[in-house]
Amino acid sequence: MPVLLGDTNTAVASNSKNVKEHWNNWPNEKGFDPKYEQLTPVELRVTGQIPAYAAGVLYRTGPGRSQLQTDHGNLFQLSHWFDGFTQTHRFQIIAPDDAESPWVGTRVFYNSRFSSDQLMKNVQKAGTRDFSRSFGQKRDPCKALYSKAQSEFVPSKGPSSTNVGVTLSVNMPGLDFDDDDDGKLPDRWTGSNSIRNLYAKTDYNEFKQLDPETLEPIAQASQRNFHPELAGPLVASHPRSDPVTGDVFNFNLEIGATSTYRVFQVSASTGKTKILARFSAIPVYIHSLLLTEDFVILCLWNSHLDPLKVADGVFKESIMPTDPSKPATWYVIDRKNDKGLIATYETPAFFCFHTINAWQEPSKEDPSKIDIVADLVRTDSVAIIDLLGYEFIKSSLPKAKEYMANRGVDLNSTITRFHLPNIPQETTLEPKKASVEWSACKEMAPELPTMNPSFGTRKHQYVYATASRGEATLTDGLMKLNCDTQDTQLWSRHAHTPGEPIFVADPNGTSEDDGVLLSVVLDGVQGTSYLLCLDARDMKELGQAHVNGVVGFGFHGQHVPTTGLPTGDY
């Protein structure tokens, strides 16, 4: 049974049905259409306590504006949350000078920037948007046919004319390599100079470089900057970083009559890219992948793509409905010994946005062999993609009200553990069977999962995520799962919508959950946002830093400590 931490942070036994009786839905449009932009850093009012070890920079990114008043007098409205005009946020957390009082005087500064401002200006001028690429924008057939006559739209080139902002990478290797370093990168992890570059990423093969302090878009790149073969249009927004070496792993998908996956590694020490495996398979929309000490795991779950529709401009229309009769296929790629694709495994059909972690352990059947265990957030089908359209998540709209009235208490997502047995030492062509060990938290519909990043590629005990129990159209709490006991804890406040929790470890901690969670929350009553700091051990509130405006409901972020490593792509 979950523990609910309410407005007074008093733990009370509860369940989602009882909570729902005391919850009133509230208009949440401000979170989907923020107009607040703070170009120069301002100090935030801090209440409670934020520990000194959380000092550093927290970046956040995701959709900002969802509608614009155009020069033609019409209101241009986006259809899908994934197409929101990107805004990037920066919270600088400064530890107190007095080392003897680490809890007193922690200061927080905030600045933000719309990073697609030229694209927004183009839309305002044209009265519509260039539909050469969007995720789910509905198109008016008449406007599509006569758009040239109706507008003066001329796409502008440059980083601020593209909409890239799902995830962020700090010090992305391969894009900051200096030939004068004699094959080595300078030390990137020292004090305030630790941030060498900042890149926004998406599931399309395009990066946007941002100024780490002003957040101004300054350059564009793609996976082709890593290697000329990586020219396919689709990638994972969430690559994986080796927690020891910093090497980054991702894939590139080239779509055609025969679609080709290329799984690759970018060295953090040399900036060089190595293609680990090439294989042909059905094209699939994949948002994230998995990494163990010796393997990269790419799961082709059931978000199969129609190749003929991928290039039509609206990507969502190319994602075919989940076919329960077709298995999800797991591809295991060797990353240490140049063996390429080692094996494939099959499980029943499912869909996933976000993987959590994977690791290796001695096989239960034969201890001399290796098994892979993988945790991820699983849903039954791709139906969740449609339900993230603005018409379903803007609470005042008719479809959102109808959906909330009939949806029940969950979105059918669970945290699920998969088991891939007996990883072969040499390539095995015949698919093997994988199994589900357990699924948990269905009543909380978890998403945007995070964990202590130092446990990447190692067995972890705790997972943190947003919860969606049916009390709001998006998220209504933050949860913690103990994977060993299946026990959960929940933080929630009436009419407060939290974003992805970011774990920051206590450097003096002795257990996996010694640290804090940082999440940006919209207070629906006050109509402003705040940076929330929770104790990751008991999910109790420690402090808040109050923003004088609305921080839009975003996707992902990354914390860069004052000293030490960034959190990495976990």
Sole residue written with tokens 């020292």:
190
Bin 221: left if φ > 0, else alpha if -120 < ψ < 50, else beta: beta
Check residue 420 and give its pLDDT.
97
Using the predicted structure, report yes or no on whether residue 508 has a pLDDT greater than 80: yes
Q: What's the total number of domains in the chain?
A: 1
Check residue 56 and give its pLDDT.
95
Q: Give strand pairing partners of 382.
A: none
132: pLDDT confidence band, cut at 50, 70 and 90? low
The residue-averaged pLDDT of 258-276 equals 96
**566 within domain boundaries:** no
Using the predicted structure, report yes or no on whether residue 177 has a pLDDT greater than 70: no
Check residue 411 and give its pLDDT.
65
**367 within domain boundaries:** yes
- Condensed to tens digits (0 to 9), the pLDDT of residues 421-433 reads 999 999 988 999 9
The contacts of residue 397 (CB under 8 Å, 6+ apart) are 390, 391
180: pLDDT confidence band, cut at 50, 70 and 90? very low
Alpha carbon 2 to its chain centroid, in Å, reads 25
Check residue 1 and give its pLDDT.
42
Using the predicted structure, report yes or no on whether residue 227 has a pLDDT greater than 90: yes
Helix or strand (DSSP H, E) at 307:
helix 307-310
Strands 207-210 and 328-334: unpaired
The residue-averaged pLDDT of 234-239 equals 97
Check residue 149 and give its pLDDT.
31
- Condensed to tens digits (0 to 9), the pLDDT of residues 78-95 reads 999 999 999 999 999 999
Domain containing 109: what range?
3-561
The residue-averaged pLDDT of 167-196 equals 63
**Rounded CA separation 415/463 (Å):** 9
195: pLDDT confidence band, cut at 50, 70 and 90? confident
Helix or strand (DSSP H, E) at 117:
helix 117-126
* pLDDT, greater one: 155 or 566: 566
Using the predicted structure, report yes or no on whether residue 193 has a pLDDT greater than 90: no
Token pair belonging to 320: 């075919």
Using the predicted structure, report yes or no on whether residue 152 has a pLDDT greater than 70: no
**Rounded CA separation 103/533 (Å):** 13
The DSSP annotation for 491-507 comes to E--TTEEE---EEEE-T
Torsion of CA 513, 449, 163, 27, to 10 degrees: -100
Instruction: Give the chain's mean pLDDT.
Output: 87
Using the predicted structure, report yes or no on whether residue 292 has a pLDDT greater than 90: yes
Using the predicted structure, report yes or no on whether residue 104 has a pLDDT greater than 50: yes
**567 within domain boundaries:** no
**177 within domain boundaries:** yes
107: pLDDT confidence band, cut at 50, 70 and 90? very high
Lowest mean pLDDT, pick from 38-52, 143-157, 471-485 = 143-157
Annotated binding site: 238, 287, 354, 556
- Condensed to tens digits (0 to 9), the pLDDT of residues 527-536 reads 999 999 999 9
What is the 3-state secondary structure of 545-563? EECCCCCCCCCEEEEEECC
* pLDDT, greater one: 278 or 400: 278
**568 within domain boundaries:** no
Give residue 525's identity as a one-letter amino acid code: V
Annotated binding site for Fe cation: 238, 287, 354, 556
Q: Give strand pairing partners of 299.
A: 330
Check residue 17 and give its pLDDT.
41
307: pLDDT confidence band, cut at 50, 70 and 90? very high
194: pLDDT confidence band, cut at 50, 70 and 90? confident
135: pLDDT confidence band, cut at 50, 70 and 90? confident
**Rounded CA separation 285/80 (Å):** 17
